[in-house]
C-alpha cells in the first residue's frame, strides 16, 4: 500500500533534498504529495513557468523508490495575479473584500481566475504527462476551508443565472421562495439579491439556495480542473483532500467527478475544543472515516495524517508514544488504502510554524520519526492481508447536506446541530462495534438491514419513493423529529408536517415545541424513564403503534416513539432527542428483529473492533483507546498478523495498542 508524507522541497535548500529522500526510504515511505501551494515557484511571473526545481525533486525521490502525487496550486493564487486582477479576492457577507496574505483567497466564480487556473493546470499536466513517477493528482487543497461563501458582484450575476436555470421564470422563483412575505417579490432576474448582511434574517429559501449555489460553484470549479487534466492525461487518477465532517460543500457532489477521494485526518487538532478525551475523539474520527468512505462507496486515502502537534498561533497537544500508530491503524480499519503524513518536516517560516511534522524544525529524526519507521515496517509485512480489504456494513446512516443546511439556517432550538444528532445515533453503533456506512438520500438502500435518517426535515417525491420502496421490500427504517416538515425548497408543508413521509411512518403530528436550552422533559419506553432535550413532537397515531411516551406535565401519556408496519418492512419514528439511556432501549427494540452478523470478539468499552473482508476472509482490527490495559475474549483461535503469534481465548492489549487478527 502507499505510505508517505507531504513534502515541500521549495521550503528547503536543494542539498537537503537527497538527505530527506534517504530518510524517507529508511522509514519505508514510498509516496509524497507536493506542489499544492507552490504556484509562485512554478510561475514566478505571468507565463514564465519554472518546473526545473520540481523535476529535480521528483528525480531524487524516484531514485529512492518514491512516487509523487502532484497538487494543483490553486488554493494559493500568487501576488502578481491578485495585483493584476484584484476582483479575484472574495467578498464577505458585509460586502467587504478580503485581502491577500493568507490562502484560499479567491472567488470560485471569478472568470479571470478560471482562465489562470486552466493555464497553470494545463502547464503542469503537459509538463508531467510522460513522467511515470507522477501517479496521481490532487485538485486544489481543502475546498471551502476558512471561507466557503463569496458575496461579490460576479457571484451575484452567476447566482442569477443559476436560479434562472433552476426555476425557469421569475414567477416560479417567487412562488417557491414565498417572496410575498415581507413584500420581497422580485419583478425580474436582475433584481434578485445575494444574502449579504441585512437588517435582520433573510428568507430561508434564499439562504438555502445560496448555500446550494456556492456548493455547486466549487463543484463546477473543480470539474474544470479535472477536465483539463483528463484531456491531456486521460488515464490520470485524480483526488481531492476532503475534511471529514465539514458541511459547507455537498461532498457527494464534489466527489462525483473524482477517481477516488482522500481526506485530512487530524484527531488531536488544536482548533476549537481542545479538551483531550481519546475515547470521545476515537468515535468522531471513525465517523469522519466512514463519511469519507461513503462518498464514492469505496476505499479512500488519507492525504494528510497527523504526525505531531498541530498549531498556528498556539501549539496543540503532543502525540504520545504509540498514539500515531493507533490513529493510522484506525484509518486503515475504516477503509484507508494509503496513509500520507502531514508533513515531512516542520516549517521554519509562515503561518504553520507550529504545525509539526514527522521531523521537527531542525530535521533531526526523533521519536515520531522512529514511530513512522516502525509503522512502515509493519505495513510492508502485512500489506498482503490489509490492502484492498473492505468494510461490509449492514447498517446505514443517511447524511443529507441539504437538510444539514436547513438546520444551520434555522436550528429550531438554541445550540441544536444536525451533526450532533447524527453522531448520537452513530455512537450507539460505534460503542457496540457495529460497522456503519454513511450514505446519500439517493443511494440504493437495499443492501442494508437498517437505515437511519436523523433530521430529515426536507424530502421530495424521489426521496420518499426511495425510502418507501426500501421499506416495502422488507427494510427497517428510522427517522426523527421534524421529518418531512418542509418541502425541498425550504418552505413549510401546508398539508401535513410529515409531508410525503406521512403514510410511511403512519402518524400525524398533533403538536410540537422546542425544549429550551438547559431544560429536559421526561420520556418513557417500557418501564424505563429517561430524559429528552431540544424538541418534542406529539404524535397522533394512524396506522402506527406507540412504543414510547412523554411523562412530563400535559404531555404525559402522549406518544413520541412509534413503529409502523409498511409493506414487508417497518418504519420507526422518534419524536424527540432522547438521552443515551433511552436511546439504547429504543435501538434495542429496533434491532430486536434484525439479524446482524456478530463479531466473534467480546471487549471492554473503548476497545474498537472493526471487521474488514478480503477475498471472503474476515480481518479484525482491535484498537485500544483506553489509557489502561484492556482484555478481549475470542470465541476461536486467531493469528495476530502484526506479531505472527497465535492468539487463544484471552487477549490482553496495552494502552494505545493495536492487534490485527485473522482466523486460522
Known catalytic residues are 142, 304
Peptide bond into 343 cis (omega under 30): yes
Residue 612 β-bridge partners: 619
360 phi, psi to nearest 5 deg:
-80, -175
Other CB atoms closer than 10 Å to residue 647's CB: what's the count?
Answer: 18
Tell me if 289 sits within 8 A of 336, measured CB to CB: yes
Please, which residues have CB within 8 angstroms of residue 83's CB and are 6 or more apart in sequence?
none
Please, which residues have CB within 8 angstroms of residue 36's CB and are 6 or more apart in sequence?
71, 72, 73, 75, 138, 140, 141
Other CB atoms closer than 10 Å to residue 155's CB: what's the count?
Answer: 23
Q: Give the C-alpha separation, 113 to 83, whole Å.
A: 12
Q: Give the C-alpha separation, 335 to 353, whole Å.
A: 31
Q: Give the C-alpha separation, 470 to 519, whole Å.
A: 37
Q: Give the C-alpha separation, 524 to 512, whole Å.
A: 18
**Three-state secondary structure of 593-641:** CCCCCCCCEEECCCEEEEEEEECCEEEEEEEECCCCCEEEEECCCEEEC
End-to-end CA distance of the chain: 24
Cell numbers placing 635: 470465541
Please, which residues have CB within 8 angstroms of residue 192's CB and are 6 or more apart in sequence?
159, 160, 163, 170, 173, 186
**Three-state secondary structure of 317-368:** CCCCCCHHHHHHHHHHHCCEEEEEEECCECCCCCCCCCCCCCECCCCCCCHH
Tell me if 439 sits within 8 A of 396, measured CB to CB: yes
Other CB atoms closer than 10 Å to residue 631's CB: what's the count?
Answer: 13
In sequence order, what DSSP letters do the residues of 506-558 get, joined into one string? TEEEEEEEEPPTT--EEEEETTEEEEEEEEEEEEEESS-EEEEEE-SGGGTT-
Cell numbers placing 442: 439517493
Amino acid at each position: 500500500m502507499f505510505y508517505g508524507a507531504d513534502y515541500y522541497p521549495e521550503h528547503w535548500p536543494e542539498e537537503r533534498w537527497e538527505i530527506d529522500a534517504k530518510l524517507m526510504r529508511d522509514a519505508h515511505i514510498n509516496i509524497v504529495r507536493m506542489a499544492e501551494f507552490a504556484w509562485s515557484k512554478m510561475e514566478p511571473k505571468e507565463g514564465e513557468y519554472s518546473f526545473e526545481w520540481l523535476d529535480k525533486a521528483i528525480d531524487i525521490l524516484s531514485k529512492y523508490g518514491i512516487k509523487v502525487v502532484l497538487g494543483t496550486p490553486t488554493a494559493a493564487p500568487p501576488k502578481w495575479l491578485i495585483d493584476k486582477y484584484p476582483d479575484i479576492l472574495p467578498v464577505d457577507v458585509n460586502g467587504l473584500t478580503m485581502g491577500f496574505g493568507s490562502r484560499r483567497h479567491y472567488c470560485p466564480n471569478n472568470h479571470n481566475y478560471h482562465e489562470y487556473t486552466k493555464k497553470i493546470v494545463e502547464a503542469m499536466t503537459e509538463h508531467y504527462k510522460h513522467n511515470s513517477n507522477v501517479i496521481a493528482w490532487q485538485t486544489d487543497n481543502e475546498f471551502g476551508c476558512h471561507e466557503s461563501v463569496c458575496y461579490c458582484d460576479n457571484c451575484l450575476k452567476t447566482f442569477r443565472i443559476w436560479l434562472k436555470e433552476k426555476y425557469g421564470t421569475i414567477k416560479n422563483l417567487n412562488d417557491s421562495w414565498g417572496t410575498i412575505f415581507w413584500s420581497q417579490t422580485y419583478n425580474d432576474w436582475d433584481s434578485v439579491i445575494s444574502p449579504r448582511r441585512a437588517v435582520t434574517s433573510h428568507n430561508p429559501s434564499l439562504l438555502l439556495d445560496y448555500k446550494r449555489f456556492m456548493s455547486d460553484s466549487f463543484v463546477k470549479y473543480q470539474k474544470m480542473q479535472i477536465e483539463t487534466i483528463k484531456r491531456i492525461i486521460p488515464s490520470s487518477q485524480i483526488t481531492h483532500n476532503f475534511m471529514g465532517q465539514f458541511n459547507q460543500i455537498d461532498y457527494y457532489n464534489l466527489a462525483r467527478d473524482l477517481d477516488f477521494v482522500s481526506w485530512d485526518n487530524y484527531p488531536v487538532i488544536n482548533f476549537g475544543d481542545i479538551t483531550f478525551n481519546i475515547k470521545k475523539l476515537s468515535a468522531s474520527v471513525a465517523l469522519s472515516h466512514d463519511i469519507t468512505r461513503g462518498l464514492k462507496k469505496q476505499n479512500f486515502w488519507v492525504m494528510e495524517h497527523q504526525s505531531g502537534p498541530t498549531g498556528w498561533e498556539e501549539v496543540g497537544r503532543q502525540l504520545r508514544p504509540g498514539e500515531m500508530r493507533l490513529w493510522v491503524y484506525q484509518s486503515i480499519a475504516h477503509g484507508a488504502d494509503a496513509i500520507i503524513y502531514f508533513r515531512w518536516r516542520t516549517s521554519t517560516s509562515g503561518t504553520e510554524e507550529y504545525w509539526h511534522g514527522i521531523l521537527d524544525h531542525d530535521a533531526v529524526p526523533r521519536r515520531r520519526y522512529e514511530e513512522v519507521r516502525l509503522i512502515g515496517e509493519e505495513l510492508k509485512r502485512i500489506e498482503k492481508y490489509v490492502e484492498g480489504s473492505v468494510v461490509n456494513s449492514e447498517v446505514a446512516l443517511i447524511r443529507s447536506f441539504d437538510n444539514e443546511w436547513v438546520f444551520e439556517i434555522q436550528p429550531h432550538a438554541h445550540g441544536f446541530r444536525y451533526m450532533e444528532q447524527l453522531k448520537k445515533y452513530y455512537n450507539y453503533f460505534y460503542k457496540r462495534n457495529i460497522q456503519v456506512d454513511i450514505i446519500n438520500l439517493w443511494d440504493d438502500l437495499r443492501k442494508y438491514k437498517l437505515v437511519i435518517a436523523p433530521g430529515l426535515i426536507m424530502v421530495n417525491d424521489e426521496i420518499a419513493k426511495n425510502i418507501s420502496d426500501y421499506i416495502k421490500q422488507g427494510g427497517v427504517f428510522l427517522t426523527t423529529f421534524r421529518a418531512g416538515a418542509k418541502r425541498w425548497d425550504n418552505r413549510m408543508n401546508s398539508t401535513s408536517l410529515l409531508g410525503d413521509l406521512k403514510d410511511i411512518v403512519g402518524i400525524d403530528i398533533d403538536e410540537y415545541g422546542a425544549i429550551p436550552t438547559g431544560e429536559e422533559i421526561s420520556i418513557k419506553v417500557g418501564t424505563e424513564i429517561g430524559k429528552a432535550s431540544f424538541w418534542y413532537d406529539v404524535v397522533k397515531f394512524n396506522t402506527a403503534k406507540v412504543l414510547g411516551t412523554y411523562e412530563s406535565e400535559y404531555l404525559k401519556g402522549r406518544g413520541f416513539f412509534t413503529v409502523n408496519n409498511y409493506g414487508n418492512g417497518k418504519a420507526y419514528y422518534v419524536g424527540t432527542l432522547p438521552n443515551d439511556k433511552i436511546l439504547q432501549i429504543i435501538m434495542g427494540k429496533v434491532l430486536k428483529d434484525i439479524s446482524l452478523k456478530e463479531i466473534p470478539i467480546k471487549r471492554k468499552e473503548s476497545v474498537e473492533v472493526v471487521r474488514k473482508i478480503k477475498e471472503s476472509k474476515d480481518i479484525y482490527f482491535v484498537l485500544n483507546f483506553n489509557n489502561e490495559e484492556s482484555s478481549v475474549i475470542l470465541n476461536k483461535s486467531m493469528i495476530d498478523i502484526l506479531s505472527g503469534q497465535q492468539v487463544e481465548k484471552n487477549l490482553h492489549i496495552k494502552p494505545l495498542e493495536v492487534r490485527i487478527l485473522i482466523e486460522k
